[in-house]
Amino acid sequence: MSNAETRYQEWLNYKNLDAELKAELVANADNSTEIEDRFYRDLEFGTGGLRGVIGAGTNRMNIYTVAKATRGLAAYLKAEFPQPSCAIAYDSRNKSHLFAQTAAAVLAEAGVQVYLYPERMPTPMLSFAVRYLGCMGGIVITASHNPAKYNGYKVYGADGCQITLEAAEKVLSFITSEADFVSEEPSYDACLANGKIKLIDAQTIEAYYSAVLEQSVEAPAVPLKIVYSPLNGTGNQPVREILKRIGNVQVTVVPQQELPDGNFPTCPYPNPEIRETMELAVQLGRAEGADLCLATDPDCDRVGVAVVQGDQVTLINGNEMGVMLFDFICKNRIAKGTMPEYPVAVKTIVTTEMAAAVAKEYQVELRNVLTGFKFIGEQIGYLEQEGHPERYIFGFEESYGYLSGAYVRDKDAVDAAMLICEMAAHYKKEGKNLVDVLNSLYEKYGYYKSDLLSFTFEGPTGMDTMKGILDKLRAERPTEFAGYAVEQTIDYENDETGLPKSNVLAFGLAEGCYLVVRPSGTEPKLKIYVTAKAETEPKVEEAVQRLSKICTTRFGA
Active-site positions?
144
Q: What is the DSSP letter of 282?
A: H
Side by side, which strands form the sheet with 392-397?
A: 365-369, 344-348, 392-397, 401-403
d(CA 107, CA 391) in angstroms, rounded, equals 37
Do strands 525-534 and 447-456 pair parallel, antiparallel, or not at all (unpaired)? antiparallel
Cα distance between residue 305 and residue 486, in whole Å? 34
Cα end-to-end span (Å), the chain: 33
Q: How long a stretch of residues is the chain?
A: 557
Q: Residue 450 contacts by C-beta under 8 Å, 6 or more apart in sequence? A: 317, 319, 352, 398, 529, 530, 531, 532, 544
Selection from 156, 541, 185 nearest residue 378 by Cα: 156
Nearest to 121 by CA among 112, 109, 108, 130: 130
Cα distances (angstroms) measured from residue 371 to each of 141, 165, 503, 519:
21, 13, 11, 11
Dihedral, 248, 254, 255, 258 alpha carbons, nearest 10:
-80
* DSSP secondary structure of 39-76: HSSPPP--SSEEEEEBSSSTTSBSHHHHHHHHHHHHHH
